[in-house]
Amino acid sequence: MDIPESTNFIQDIIVDDLKTGKRDHVLTRFPPEPNGYIHIGHAKSICLNFGTAKKFCGKTNLRFDDTNPTKEDTEYVDSIYNDVHWLGFNWEEPVHYASDYYDQLYDFAEQLIQLGKAYVDDLSPEEMREYRGNDAGKPSKPSPYRDRSIEENLDLFRRMKAGEFADGAKTLRAKLDLSSPNMNMRDPAVYRIKHATHHRTGDKWCIYPMYDFAHPLSDWIEGITHSICTLEFEAHRPLYNWFLETLNLKNRPQQIEFARLNLSYTVMSKRKLLELVKSGRVMGWDDPRMPTVCGFRRRGYTPSSIREFCDRIGISKADSMVDINLLYFCIREELNRTASRAMAVLDPIKVVIDNWEDGKVEEVDVENNPEDPNAGTRKVPFGKELFIERDDFMENPPKKYFRLKPDGEVRLKGAYFVKCVSVEKDADGNVTTVHCTYDPATKGGDSPDGRKVKGTIHWVNASTAVDAEVRLFDNLFTLENTGDVPDGEDPLNYLNPDSMIVKQAKLEPSLAKANLNDRFQFMRQGYFCLDSRDSKPEHLVFNRTVGLKDSWGKAQAK
Ligand code: ATP
Ligand code: MG
């Protein structure tokens, strides 16, 4: 095959491996732990693993890292299938589970014992921690059980498997290097006892392999060539290699680390996300404010916008914080090209056209997408009573206010010039209705006499308006870096109270026919889609995917 050009340090390694003949193919894997829904950080890893393999005509396995029996759930497994597919990637069939390899992993553990490279320890987890010392200079001391004979270790390990001991009573540990400055190398645990039912293996096992042991061996069993993971595993790499080398396995996978995605104004820890869901502070894992893939989907993001984002952030070896506005930018750019325009009034105030015939409704043509010449126009009804945005009228406006004001004239998008002639107020002096006259010569929104108006505002005809609930979303947190909370504080104390604002809106009637896959630009308001969970024909709910204002592009331009 022609080897493509590398565009990052991971591809450098792959290109080199293919050129030198170290490898003749590429097989990566995405290894989620099914203990939560996947988030935008996982999406980065998915795009990286699947995208890299694809570039080199390779393949990618989906493997559930289900070595922790108590925290896992088939609900999560199903959601992960769904989300990876939705992002546009296909894994190699069949799907793999670390639990598929429990028999083989157990055999590998016995081999380690037989090689004199693992022992059964009776120290409690607390004692073990104490004995291991720390990397701040506290030396380790060997466990009194470290020098058990191979026979005794084998016998005890088999009895661990048979269920003779209680949780935590014994642990199989690698016999490695207690003086290593790398804590991962100080006789790490290989198997622990946990009498728990596993979502796939049921009660077959009461001992479970540790991640650091299961992971390299699962990679090897599947024939993974490049095992891409996040930076926190860098210090685990010597251990990853040690298991493979000690067991004398050939064609070993290579672990390569990259910096995880951190995104501003949100959290990425599954534990924190679960807490948000469990405490009812969001509407679920797919709440449109959540950084989960299902949350973004419900909010109206497309798979291509998320892939574009992952592409733009690139990969590196240094941790950094990505501005969430870049994500907003990616979806906005796409929807600007693809979304149909529509008119919706989110905070309505009534306008009456005094010189319009009672009961008459006329259709005007409004363009569907100025960015797309092929998108055509649609008919929008116009009549005597309309709604406009409350803040598009001001009774006592400042200078340079070009929207509707007493004696002022504006263009109603696609319809007519209207001029404000009077207002009605309630007992408290609030304007309840704005009276206007229209100029019949300005149909289509321009005046034949060359008269100009400075403002164009959107509107919805009252008699044909459709009611809808509209949800406006903002960042979930008020803190840019949620990893940087003051000492001892919980980032959940920094939730944005205005992260969701609900409006009772008036929509143009074409929106009653919207489908779940449709995307709209509500003129001057942003991009919207139906809410997949809560919208019903008799009660429409629209989500704002993103507003129109581009803070990212502006910041870049500066
Ligand atoms: P936790 O939230 O408990 O730390 P995790 O995010 O590591 O868990 P996993 O299910 O183990 O969750 O992750 C699956 C894969 O996704 C791993 O390879 C992991 O390195 C990668 N991954 C997880 N978070 C990020 C992130 N923020 N950026 C990039 N990759 C990530
Ligand atoms: Mg993990």
Percent of the chain with pLDDT over 70: 100
Between the alpha carbon of residue 275 and those of residues 271, 284, 546, the distances in Å are 6, 10, 25
CA 97, distance to chain mean position in Å, is 23
Q: What is the arithmetic mean of pLDDT over 458-462?
A: 98
Residue of minimum CA distance from atom 3 in ligand 1: 270
Which atom of ligand 1 lies nearest, measured to the CA of 34?
A: 10
How many angstroms does the Cα of residue 298 sit away from the middle of ligand 1? Answer: 22
Residues with CB under 6 A from ligand 1: 31-33, 41-42, 44-45, 229-230, 260-261, 268-270
Phi-psi region of 300 (alpha: psi -120 to 50; beta: other; left: phi over 0): left
CA dist 240 and 228 (Å) reads 12
Banded pLDDT at 485 (limits 50, 70, 90): confident
Answer yes or no: is pLDDT of 552 > 80: no
- Report CA(87)–ligand 1 centroid distance (Å): 16
Scanning the structure block, which residue is given the tokens 């699962």?
A: 218
Residue 373 pLDDT grade (very low, low, confident, very high; cuts 50, 70, 90): confident
> How many A from CA of 158 to the centre of ligand 2?
29
Q: Please, are residues 324 and 475 in contact by the beta-carbon 8 Å criterion?
A: yes
Residue whose CB lies within 8 A of the most ligand 1 atoms, among 33, 232, 482, for a mutation test: 33
Mean pLDDT of the chain: 96
Alpha helix locations (H) across 194-266?
211-222, 237-246
Residue nearest to atom 23 of ligand 1 (CA): 42
Q: Which atom of ligand 1 is nearest to the CA of 262?
A: 27
Of the candidates 216, 257, 250, 316, the one whose C-alpha atom is nearest the C-alpha of residue 23 is 250
Q: Which residues are catalytic?
A: 33, 260, 270
**Mutate which of 28, 38, 45 to test ligand 1's pocket (most atoms within 8 Å of Cβ)?**
45
Give the Cα separation of 190 and 174 in Å (integer): 6
Mutate to test the pocket of ligand 1, among 42, 65, 327 (most ligand atoms within 8 A of CB): 42
pLDDT tops 70 at residue 27? yes
Pocket test residue of 48, 224, 260, 324 for ligand 1, highest count of atoms within 8 A of CB: 260
> For 77-91, 219-233, 246-260, 444-458, which range has the lowest pLDDT when averaged over its residues?
444-458
Structure tokens at 306: 């998320």
DSSP annotation of 36 reads S
**pLDDT exceeds 80 at position 71:** no
CA dihedral 368, 372, 373, 376 (to 10 degrees): -20
| Ligand 2: centre distance to CA 256 (Å) | 15
Which residues partner with 61 through β-bridges?
29
Burial bucket for residue 321 (CB in 10 Å: 0-12, 13-18, 19+):
middle
Residue 268 marked ligand-binding = yes
Largest CA distance in the chain: 103
154 marked ligand binding residue: no
Question: Binding residue per annotation — 260?
Answer: yes
In order of their start, the domains of the chain are 9-260 (3.40.50.620), 263-340+468-557 (2.40.240.10), 344-458 (2.40.240.10)
Is 114 strand, coil or helix? helix
32: CA distance to ligand 2 center in Å? 7
- Ligand 1 atom closest to the Cα of residue 230 is 20
How far is ligand 1, taken at its centre, from the CA of residue 63, in Å?
Answer: 13
Distance CA 94, CA 61 (A): 8
Tell me the average pLDDT across 288-313: 98
Pick the atom of ligand 1 nearest to 33's CA: 10
The number of the ligand 1 atom at minimal distance from the alpha carbon of 35 is 10
Judged by its nearest atom, the ligand closest to the C-alpha of residue 36 is: 1
> Which ligand is closest in space to the CA of residue 38?
1
Cis before 188 (ω within 30): no
The response to whether 42 counts as a known ligand-binding position is yes
pLDDT in tens, 139-148: 999 999 999 9
Ligand 1 atom closest to Cα of residue 269: 2
- 35 assigned binding-site residue: yes
For 118-142, b where at least 16 C-beta lie within 10 A, e where not — what string? bbbbebeeeebeebbbeeeeeebee
Comparing 324-338, 387-401, 542-556, which segment has the lowest mean pLDDT? Answer: 542-556
User: Would you say residue 220 has pLDDT above 90?
Assistant: yes
Higher pLDDT, 217 or 320: 217
88 marked as binding residue: no
Indicate which residue's Cα is closest to atom 14 of ligand 1.
Answer: 32
Cα(236) to ligand 2 centroid in Å equals 13
Two tokens at 1? 């095959």
CA distances from 204 to 33, 63, 208, 542 (A): 20, 20, 11, 48
CA dihedral 408, 414, 415, 416 (to 10 degrees): 30
87 assigned ligand-binding residue:
no
Helix H or strand E segment including 387: strand 385-389
Closest protein CA for atom 22 of ligand 1: 42
Structure token digits, residue 248: 């004398």
Percent of the chain with pLDDT over 90: 92
Distance 43 CA to ligand 1 centre (A): 9
- Give strand pairing partners of 542: 470, 530
- Contact (Cβ atoms closer than 8 angstroms) between residue 493 and residue 525: no
Residue nearest to atom 4 of ligand 1 (CA): 269
Higher pLDDT, 549 or 553: 549
In the predicted structure, residue 223 carries a pLDDT above the cut 80: yes
Task: Give the residue carrying structure tokens 């642990």.
Answer: 171
Is residue 72 over pLDDT 70?
A: no
The answer to whether the annotation marks 160 as part of a ligand binding site is no
Q: Is 386 annotated as a binding residue?
A: no
Ligand 2 midpoint to CA 229 (Å):
9
Q: In the prediction, which pLDDT does 233 show?
A: 97
Closest residue CA from atom 16 of ligand 1: 42
Question: Which ligand is closest in space to the CA of residue 62?
Answer: 1
Which structure tokens are listed for 442?
Answer: 């300005």
Ligand 1 closest atom vs CA 260: 28
> In the prediction, which pLDDT does 555 show?
79
Q: Which pLDDT does position 173 carry in this prediction?
A: 98
First to last CA, the chain: 44
- What is the DSSP annotation of 390-429? GGGB-SSPPTT--SB-BT-EEEETTS-EEEEEEEEE-TTS
